[in-house]
Structure 1
Amino acid sequence: MRLENMPVEFQQALPLINTLEEAGYEAYFVGGSVRDVLLKRRIHDVDIATSAYPEEVKAIFEKTVDIGIEHGTVLVLAEDSQYEITTFRTEDVYVDYRRPSGVTFVRCLEEDLLRRDFTINAFALAEDGQIIDKFDGLTDLENKLIRAVGVADERFNEDALRIMRALRFSASLDFDIEEKTFEAMKVHAPLLEKISIERSFIELDKLLTSDYWRKGLRNFIDSKAYNHLTGLVGKEAQLENVLKNIKSDYFWFTTSEQAWAYLLINLEVENCKDFLKKWNVSNEFTKKVTNIYEAYKIALERVWEVKDLYKYGFDAFMYAEGLLEAEERDIDTSLLPQLTMKLPIKSKSELNINGQVLMNHFNRKGGIWIGQIISEVEELVVNGQLENNQDAILEYVEKELKEE
């Protein structure tokens, strides 16, 4: 098969391919970018593989950076762009179910493609547009099928993260997983326990935020992969609820935080912070997930109030509202705009008072009293019991101090 129209991303990188070939080496576009071109999807990263060894690549191009030279990768700086060029290689024995103990540089493209995970990721694209397909990946693309390259058991035993990648691809591409490949995934799923949780988080996160997340989650459940990820062991029924409770077939999670908040809601997690800490996510991510989670939970118990909006933020309630609507719960969609209009301040920084003003006005030294007073004032202003006016606030504080 020949690609008649090279996308602009490949056209811009063609001079590097030509330079390598003029120097006597083979060079091709490889990986997910080739797959995405064939599927008419947007290209993310353009990767180049070559028969030139790393030192030979560095000798050819003027500006290079060693970003992974021990694995054969050299970053080439070309005008306003940069490209990773990786030497054809084979991989030694995998010692941790994730990384090879070493790599061997080779001159043969087929040997390099043989080490890749799935047939739809094992294409090479020549500078003339010719698609090199050694493992019948074009047929799998046509049939919308994810199939391991070579022996599936070997691929997943080498790198267990490929299990999560297969699940993620099923969600992002709307592809089925070939039967033998899926069976091998189930057999080797326990190896996920040896993979860093950060890596598994990235793949599960991409799955949940994909267009076909329902298919991905269905495969995630059926593969039993969840039984080998922290906090999800034995949670099949709760994961099924994620699929069951969203009534609309046309609902997509807007953000990662919204997706994980809904996951935690259905998992019946009592403490979001403790759960997410095990996944090594950022404090900011944890806070946003928790805020959505709390906003959702409040709606099940009572009507949202101004103080809730102030505490958890507009975005949290907007995403919680989206979840409630997707569940077809009876909610007042006009409530959030009304609360927003009633909100006198959005943060403590908007108070017309601060510690320095209090110390100067009352001629008192700093101390714990300042924080206590400002917190009291903040609550009163948010609840509409005190005007956010400096004179009014100082008058209130003066009364409070006299009663001490």
Structure 2
Amino acid sequence: MPAEFVKALPILEKIRVSGYQAYFVGGSVRDVLLNRQIHDVDIATSAYPAEVKQIFEHTVDIGIEHGTVLVLAGDDTYEITTFRTEDVYVDYRRPSHVSFVRELSEDLLRRDFTINAFALANDGEIIDLYDGLTDLDKKILRAVGHPSERFNEDALRIMRGVRFMATLNFSLESETYEAMKRQAHLLAKISIERIFIELDKLLQADYWQKGFDALLAIDASAYLPGFSDKKALLSLLTLPKRFKFTNSVQAWGFLLHQLGYVDGKFLMKKWKVSREFATAITHFLSAYRKRQVAAFSLEDLYQHHLSSLLLVENLFEAQGLDTDFEHIAVLDKTLQIRDKKEIVVSAGEIMKQFSISPGPGIGKLFHEIEMAIVIGKLRNHPDDIFNYVRESSEYGSND
């Protein structure tokens, strides 16, 4: 067992000595079997939420209506969820009602894929009711039970499926694939925020192209904002098979560039991402277009920031295009300011020094000073800036 499970064993033991069953479940068990790093330790139990709260002194009700209680154990926290079955699903995402049960088998039946339906006992025994170990060995992604039922219950499982392909380098079992393709239209019922999370994880995975190809093959792209009528373009990604994106901005920026988007803000608004992320995408797209026609300039660095320039250059390198990382490094060392707030003289000080009245004129002058400093025409020093203003015909006589 990994250290994270060993550390949590006293939690399982305390539940068991109280007369209930308790197991490690979910993706963490799968990742242990694949020798992958685990992130969350999830525990399932036959104890009902009220009974869990009686067993442990320090708990928090984080999702008690769905059977989940957070147990505080020193500096660690563990989500303890009661075995449950789920009633009819509403909006293809959430069950209308959950029922707590005492049998592990009933709980595992509601899982999405066989490789996520394992339970691990405190003695190291793997409970595998759906032949997930065979699927794990064959690197196959297969839905638990009837695939159509699983995707009709929760259509987001379609996105999770292609994401698991990308992260684990697995292939889809044929019936699971056909069900995903038949029911891809149900993604239109799922909140775009949840779809974004899954697609974002897919794009940053080691085998993202495998997952993305599957996304296109099952026609899921037809139900994604901005992708619906662009399947042909999405099929022509000009990147090496094992290329891995550096981060989300690079991944989404490249996709939008391939789709012909000049400004990503409108489309990103449809995906309901943060304003900061949409702005970063816009900077990336602008930098990419500029790099296609010329080497980057100091003004490009100032406007789009070093991170965007490096992300673009990295993609140029991956596509076998000419690159010059050293040039970007020289620009970075040369640039005097990263923001106009770093200019050593304020607009107010200039107005006072030269008796300039408020108005659009001072804004225009300060912008000229800003860009002169950026391109290296003017040193960011009070004497130089005041001399720059003094030498202008409009304000020099006011000194």
The TM tier, using the shorter chain, reads over 0.9
Counterpart Cα distance in 2 of 1:403 and 1:121: 77
Q: 1:61-72 residue pairs with structure 2 within 5 A?
A: 61-72=56-67
Residue in 2 that maps onto 1:3:
none
1:264 equivalenced with 2:259 (yes/no): no
Aligned-partner residue type, residue 284 of structure 1: E
| C-alpha contact 1:296 1:324 (8 A) present in aligned 2 | no
Letter of the structure 1 residue corresponding to residue 158 of structure 2: I
The within-5 A match list for 1:296-315 is 296-315=288-307
Displacement, 1:369? 4.4
Residue in structure 2 matched with residue 286 of structure 1 by the alignment: 278
Counterpart-to-counterpart distance in 1, 2:357 and 2:81:
64
2:370 maps to 1:378: yes
**What is the CA-CA distance between 1:268 and the residue it aligns to?**
0.8
Give the AA of the match of 1:312: H
Q: Do the aligned partners of 1:198 and 1:279 also contact (CA within 8 Å) in 2?
A: yes
Deviation at 1:397, TM superposition (A): 2.4
Give CA-to-partner distance per residue, 1:371-394, whole Å, 9 cap, x none.
333212101111222221111212
- Structure-2 residue corresponding to 1:214: 209
Matched, 1:397 2:392: no
Shift of 1:290: 1.7
Alignment partners' CA distance in 2, 1:367 and 1:55: 67
TM-score (norm 2): 0.96
2:197 matched residue in structure 1: 202
> What displacement does 1:365 show?
6.2
Q: Which residue of 2 aligns with 1:112?
A: 107
Measure the CA separation in 2 of the matches of 1:224 and 1:328: 30
More deviation, 144-153/277-286: 277-286
1:357 aligns with 2:349: yes
- Structure 2 equivalent of residue 52 of structure 1: 47
Segment drifting more, 231-240 vs 41-50: 231-240
* Alignment partner, residue 325 of structure 1: 317
Shift of 1:338: 2.5
Name the amino acid aligned to 1:148: A
RMSD: 1.5
How far apart in 1 are the matches of 2:15 and 2:281? 48
Aligned residues: 396
Structure 1 residue 184 corresponds to structure 2 residue 179: yes
* 2:354/2:395 contact within 8 Å kept: no
Q: 1:97 matched to which residue of 2?
A: 92
Per-residue deviation, residues 239-290 of structure 1 (Å, max 9, x unmatched): 1122xx11x3332101011000100010111321101110011111112222
1:30 aligns with 2:22: no
Distance 1:180 1:188 in 2: 12
Distance 2:370 2:268 in 1: 30
| Partner amino acid, structure 2, of 1:313 | H
Q: Deviation at 1:342? A: 2.6
Shift, 1:359, TM fit: 4.1
Q: 1:98·1:161 contact (CA, 8 Å) conserved in 2?
A: yes
Structure 2 residue aligned with 1:334: 326
Q: Give me the whole-angstrom Cα distance separating, in 1, the residues matched to 2:290 and 2:262.
A: 14
Q: What letter is aligned with 1:272?
A: G
Confirm or deny: 8 A CA contact 1:33 1:45 kept in the other structure.
yes
Displacement after TM superposition at 1:356 (Å): 3.7
User: Which amino acid letter does the alignment assign opposite residue 372 of structure 2?
Assistant: L
SS at match of 2:328: helix
Checking the alignment, whether the CA contact within 8 Å between 1:355 and 1:366 is kept in structure 2 is no
Deviates more, 1:393-402 or 1:114-123: 393-402
Structure 2 gap ranges (5+):
none
Identity over aligned pairs, percent: 54
Residue 16 of structure 1, aligned match among 11, 19, 24? 11
Q: Deviations over 1:310-360 (max 9, x none)?
A: 110111000000111111112334321222233222221221111342244
The answer to whether the Cα contact below 8 Å between 1:197 and 1:280 also exists between their aligned partners in 2 is: yes
CA deviation string 1:77-119 (max 9, x = no partner): 0011000000000001001100001100000100000001000
Matched residue SS, 1:21: helix
Distance 1:379 1:63 in 2: 59
SS in 1 for 2:235: helix
Secondary structure, aligned partner of 1:313: helix
TM-score of the aligned structures, taking structure 1 as reference length = 0.95
Q: CA deviation at 1:19?
A: 0.5
